[in-house]
Amino acid sequence: MFRKILIANRGEIAVRILRACHELGIRCVAVFSDVDRKSLHVRLADEAYPIGPAPSRESYLSIEKIIDVARRSGCDAIHPGYGFLAENAALPRACTEAGITFIGPGAEAMEALGSKTAGRQLARRCDVPTVPGANDPIENPDDAQALSQNMGFPVLLKAVAGGGGKGMRVVTCDAEFRPAWRDASSEALNAFGDARLYLEKYLEKPRHIEIQILADAHGRVVSLGERECSVQRRHQKVIEEAPSLVVTPELRKKMGDAAVRLARAGGYVNAGTVEFLVDAHLNFYFLEVNTRLQVEHPVTEQVTGLDLVKLQIAIAADHRLPFAWETITPRGHAMEVRLYAEDPDNKFFPSPGKILSCHAPSGPGIRLDEGVYEGWTVPMDYDPLLSKLIAWGNSREETIARLRRALGEYTVTGIKTNAGLFRRILAEPDFLRGEIHTKWLDELLQRSSSVARSFDEDPKTDHAADAAAIAAALWQTNFSEKSSGQPSSGQESCRPSRWKQEGRRQQLDRRP
């Protein structure tokens, strides 16, 4: 087993990996940019090293700096987490050169499966159905337009190097084609340094269902079942759950077989996810492979009882998977919400800033994969994911009830979060019935004339504003007393947030 692992990441995922390492008795090395000096992952690590200024290109995306820290600190392995360098084949290559183990697939498998077009080609070769469309990047927009006319609109332009919903445009008619092509390719160039596009038939209102796989270096490949990620905003997942309400045991087996076939064909080793779109008739179509740990991996962990990060580490250390596919029997239901520092009242703009107070929910069936703490300042430089809140229950109903209860307990002041959005979604009849698709949330948001009022139905928001106003008035009075020479107790600057906290506490106490 490894002695010391460098975590080439930040935020909640760095903390998640660090916890797995500590449970295995492995020391952890954190890396951090200038703005992350006081981050939670730095606080919890055994050692931490600065790797440069805030822009990712000069810190978390610098392979040279990361390998240098790994060498200097005597690490024998690197875990990339997700995002940043996790799907960049240059990192496993640099690790091999440096004699350090990369906790993830090899560079060749990453390239064979990780690129959207290469993945589609491999899927077709091993009889995994793909969404109709191009299997190669299309250089010439005339060719792309002709293909769209042949296939029929709507089509979806997609960046070859895509991720995070960037470089994607739906084209519903011929007239929209050229502007959409220009927008998608320039967005792709900005986001990935690669303007190449391809296109797929745009499926109307599909579900997003993905299969988690694990593969060891000794030929065993297993499927851990599905996660449903159909609640999305602008092609980005916001709620994930397992099992999916529409996946029958037969469909689960078929999708699992397809995912395992693909992983084998690509010589894949370690944890990976094969994503599919599923139509109303339960036909499934390959979308892409994520050659890394997913944000939503805890959903699978909660229903299988497995620790995917520990298994990733064991596989990288050349251990055999200690179970066969047939022995995995998912239990109960799990659901995850992604808590972001963003402002639903203001087009979901990021809401960085200092966290004045926060209360973490707990209790039966609740897991919080936290990346922040009270007093810490959420930087504006990165994805504003604060934490992931995961609930487990014996049934979907119990899971939702627990998640709603936990969201009621969750309070953060100082920054805005999207917690109110989840409170609303979890009360929506369509969601409760499981009648969802990938455009469902976008449509719901469009229908709400005022996101501000409709999405934070939690009454304590208004009271918090009242408490803040009262606190400000009291502070002002105190300040005047002080300047007029009256005695004061000191610590005045802390008072506003205490008032706010007290107001929130009383609100919670009064709730049924």
User: Which residues contact ligand ADP (rule: CB under 6 A)?
Assistant: 131, 156, 162-165, 200, 202-203, 206, 208, 232, 235, 275, 277, 287-288, 438
Q: What is the amino acid identity at position 146?
A: A
In the complex with ligand ADP, the residue whose CB is nearer, 216 or 275, is 275
In the complex with ligand ADP, the residue whose CB is nearer, 251 or 360, is 251
Q: What is the amino acid identity at position 481?
A: E
In the complex with ligand ADP, the residue whose CB is nearer, 202 or 422, is 202
The least distance separating ligand ADP from the CB of residue 40, rounded to whole angstroms, comes to: 26
E strands in 128-168 = 155-159
Task: Decide if 93 is catalytic.
Answer: no
The least distance separating ligand ADP from the CB of residue 297, rounded to whole angstroms, comes to: 16
The least distance separating ligand ADP from the CB of residue 70, rounded to whole angstroms, comes to: 28
In the complex with ligand ADP, the residue whose CB is nearer, 275 or 342, is 275
Active-site residue (options: 196, 207, 292, 423): 292
The least distance separating ligand ADP from the CB of residue 165, rounded to whole angstroms, comes to: 5
Q: What are phi and psi of 457, to 5 degrees?
A: -80, 0
What DSSP assignment string belongs to 14-53?
A: HHHHHHHHHHTT-EEEEEE-GGGTT-HHHHHSSEEEE--S
Q: What is the amino acid identity at position 140?
A: N
Residues in the chain: 512
Rg (CA), the chain: 24
Cis bond before residue 243 (omega within 30° of 0): yes
Nearest residue relative to ligand ADP (C-beta)? 438
Residue showing tokens 């490949």: 221
The least distance separating ligand ADP from the CB of residue 245, rounded to whole angstroms, comes to: 17
Integer angstrom CA distances of residue 209 from 6, 90, 285: 32, 29, 10
In the complex with ligand ADP, the residue whose CB is nearer, 241 or 275, is 275
In the complex with ligand ADP, the residue whose CB is nearer, 77 or 155, is 155
What DSSP assignment string belongs to 300-348?
A: HHHHH---HHHHHHHHHTTPPPSS-GGG----SEEEEEEEESEEGGGTT
The least distance separating ligand ADP from the CB of residue 202, rounded to whole angstroms, comes to: 5
Structure-derived torsion over alpha carbons of residues 372, 375, 381, 383, reported in degrees to the nearest 10:
30
Q: What are the catalytic residues?
A: 292
